[in-house]
Structure 1
Amino acid sequence: MQAAEVLRDTIGALVKRAPAIIAAAARELGAVRLLLRFGDGSCARLLGHSSTLRVQLSPADQSAEVEVYFDDRALGLLFDAAARPSEQALEQSLDMRGSREDLLAAWRCFRLLSQRASGLRIVQAIWADYRDSRAAGWAPPPMPEAAPRPRGPAHWEDAHWPALDWLDRRHPAGRDLLARGEPVLAPARSLWNGRDAESWQDAAQIFDNDLMETMARCKARVVDEILRLIPNKQPQRDLYSLMRDYVQREGKGLRPTLVIATCMALGGRFEDGVRAAAALEMFHNGFLVHDDIADESTHRRGLPTLHMSHGIGLAVNAGDGMHLFAVDMTLSNLQSVGLARTLGIIHEILHMCRETVEGQAIELGWIRRNFVPARDADYSRMSTKKTGWYTCISPCRVGRWRRGLPNRGCWTASTRRSG
């Protein structure tokens, strides 16, 4: 299969399955005729026509306002939604010719297609077939990992918290973290990278025909990750064993599933979302421990609540420990995704925590004053803050950040409704 045929099949599939995306792309392209030449020698012309797009293979008339040459590297980067446009213009790889206005129109058209259509299964299937036949040309060369720095004299013993230990090794005592810190080096990834990309339907852990089984598998993997990271050190009986026991209780696994599903829907792999999902699950469990105390609940997930079986003091401390360990797991993403994405995940989790504690405060205040809201909007605002953000909204946003895509402008309606 040649690249021009991939373009034709992609546009044809989108015309049938996602006409709204095609219409938006056609509006961006306008009357510009776009001639595309590919590194394999194939050629196609893309035209906008009555709110749709048409592809002509090897047209006899090759007149066009914009002419573009792609090789495999440039074609792959076009579908890397995490890269800035300036990072996608590779020397001797991408060449665009035409007036400034027409070039911008063509660029906006392709960016819209790549951002809004790249997660669709039909598109992933088409490009996966093409990618698999030409995998060698897609993946960027691996970058060397930065060598860990020697440990400082004040940090000879591991804390057995993953982020703390990793940061200690990279930045010993007495070092200026900001002035001398080394960047985390990781190879750039494309949605269609022949080595790394994995479409949702190809992941062994995912079975679309059974949502509950999918959620159970995602939760099991995340719980395994949490248990692997919880320190095997003292105090076991009064802290770490409580944390370990609580996360293994029965639960649906909705939040981990949403994190992993969002990450994979945007081109990531199953394992990419596991650590972020584990951090979110630990936050969730810490909230539950404290929530049970505030609500004076006696049972959770079919077993006595932590404060009923171990006392309020140890339960509060275990809940605090879960939250702190969740922060550590969030920071441990530095090892794999670098500073910018990790800060994005932290920002989302902080926002989630703020919304949750505000919603909890509203409900507890109503209970204390024996107040029943008269308007549905008041209850909706409380439930969105207390439950909606950390159950549905934030897991999706964290999964998007884990894939490397900022959440600019997302969920604005929910944000307005929740205050």
Structure 2
Amino acid sequence: MRQLSAWTLAAAAVLAAAPTATAEAGTLSANCPRLHGDWYGHNRERLQQVIDARGTCSGHRGAVAAFDWDNTITKNDVTDATLSWALRHDRLLRPARWKDTSAWLTDTADRALATACGTGAGEPLRTSDRPHCTDEIVEIRENGTTTSGAAAFAGRWNHRRTVPQYAWVPQLFAGRTPAEVAAYTRAARSEALAAPIGATRTLGTHTVPAYIRYYDQQRDLVRTLQRAGFRVYVVSAGSEPITEVWSRAIGVDAAHTIAIRSVLDHRGRITTRNEGCGDVPASRGAAIPYIDGKRCWINQEIYGVRGVRAWQKQPWKRRPAVAGGDADTDVTFVDDATGAHVVLNRNKAELMCRAYDDADGRWLINPMFLEPLPRRPDPYPCSTTARTAPDGTRGPVLRPDGSVVPDQADTVH
């Protein structure tokens, strides 16, 4: 990562590109919203420069900040926590056919789920006392395979717009209402916040995190951005009714929370279809907020860009000023940010290649605020296999000019 002097030059470019402020507003006052808390290196100061340049202290209002949720604003995954609670309290309903839940579920996975979970459409799954059923569901969610090791999903999908096992979680709640899922989430949230840091639990034979924490630094960042006139959004590849429960507690309302949006039936119940983005219509998971899908949903829902153009990088004024994430699913929209790209280091190759390459001098890398990972021993394979192509193959990470990003050492941990 470059030194502070390089960042100062980049911040000056942000100020030059931003709309001209009045002379009075250009003088920063002691009352300007300030960041607090411990950040790595100069990250807090560098974020403050962007907030001052693009917020009310420079006479501006309405710049966008967008953040991933799971492992970016919170430690651990809130959708997984709700699924865990639902499995332990028999809240999922058995589908008529498991293959109906996903466009890509294999025959092998269909048989494995039917065998482990029984039959009887519409009946609550007895996952609390059927560990084999819980095991199959958790294994498919976590690894995309059955407990026998067979692929659970097969076929063709755009690997930069969706991943079947992410889309599958909202599909598992088919037959329930968003209000019911929100109630499950509130119960799971109370449970996870009360559990001690580091706590785990067993689901079937799987050991999963039992606790979640809001990162204090991220709460403060969201609050400071809002006070400075930024429009702060959450953009998650989780289930929207679940994410909304958690985002509300940091002052981000449902209108500013974007996640997988299930299509509802005439009774207001969740179906196995989700809303589409850009030129992709509603489907069983073809376009969710995932990698390039996050850009599409931001362009569509925040900036009103429609059709195929929603998948494309937009001009400077129609992109977030600040964007933050922790995984490859976030790399496209975090890269789109014009002021600061905030990255929590979870050793995810494509994202970390972009962050360490720091092509525009505006990438801010921070270790996770709780239980940070150790240094990755080997360099990230940026020049060979770090990027996932739409067809699922692996290739090099490229800069905008087409040059290849060289392999990067992991230095912020």
The TM-score normalised by the length of structure 2 is 0.27
Q: Which has the higher helix share?
A: 1
Largest Rg, 1 or 2: 1
Q: Which has the higher strand share?
A: 2
Tell me: higher relative CO, structure 1 or 2? Use CA pairs within 8 A at least 6 residues apart. 2
The TM-score normalised by the length of structure 1 is 0.27
